[in-house]
A = this chain, B = another copy of it.
Amino acid sequence: MDMKNNEKSKSSGKGSIQERTRRTILDHAARLFRERGYASTSLRDIATATGMKAGSLYYHFASKEELAEEVMSQGIALVEDRVRAAIAALPEGTDPVEVIRHAMTAHLKALHDRGDYASANIRCYAHVPPDVKDRLRKVRATYEDLWAGLIAAARAAGRIRAEVDPPALRYALIGMMNWTLEWRRGASPSAEDLAAQFYAIAFAGALADG
């Protein structure tokens, strides 16, 4: 959402060397923030992983805070963009519960496609400086509102039981999906399989009939 270019940028070509370097820095930063946490990841670690010296990072980012905010906001933005695209691709009049099922699949696919960014966001959010956290809170809130809207639509269509509390359902879905970043190893189960399982559990229920 907020892919602001560094002020020092001389070129704005998407594939410029500077922008590719910037992306490389972000990739390594995301991985390190995920693995080590915000404070334990030094700019020297990130610089070394990227193949440059510590001070050189300041040619691309004004501060550690700015770098972290960029990584973490992209962790949400990448997921949100994919979920919105998946929804937009559905024909009008699609069953709102079916919309949620597709949103779950898109969320899980995006989450694990750029897992370092999403995981850095989740793991470091609470531990980042207050001003960064304030801005990230708004990014999170916007994304949560998207889910609130999907659930409200399904409820309005009479597709969700009245006893189910919409916020509880929203947090249950987000919680079970985001927790996969804490236990999934490698490439299995696939994001599609996870989405199918979680959709079946949360909407049809785990209970056997009879």
B161 near A207: Cβ-Cβ < 8 Å: yes
A165 on interface, CB distance cutoff 8 Å? yes
| Cβ contacts A66-102/B at 8 Å (1 or 0 each) | 0000000000000000000000000000000100000
A202 near B205: Cβ-Cβ < 8 Å: yes
Range, interface on chain A: 35 or more
A158 on interface, CB distance cutoff 8 Å? yes
| Cβ contacts A191-205/B at 8 Å (1 or 0 each) | 000100110111111
A207 near B204: Cβ-Cβ < 8 Å: yes
Q: How many copies does the complex hold?
A: 2
Q: Name A207's contact: one of B38, B160, B182, B183 (CB within 8 Å).
A: B160
**With A37-B127, A175-B175, A179-B175 in contact, is A204–B201 under 8 Å at CB?**
no
Q: Name A203's contact: one of B159, B168, B179, B206 (CB within 8 Å).
A: B206
A65 on interface, CB distance cutoff 8 Å? no
**Cα-based distance from A93 to B170 in the complex (angstroms):** 34
Seen from chain A, the residues whose Cβ lies within 8 Å of a Cβ on chain B are 34-40, 97, 123-124, 126-127, 158-165, 168-169, 171-180, 182-183, 189, 194, 197-198, 200-209
Identify the 6 closest CB pairs spanning chains A and B, nearest first. A175-B179, A205-B205, A37-B127, A39-B39, A168-B197, A175-B176
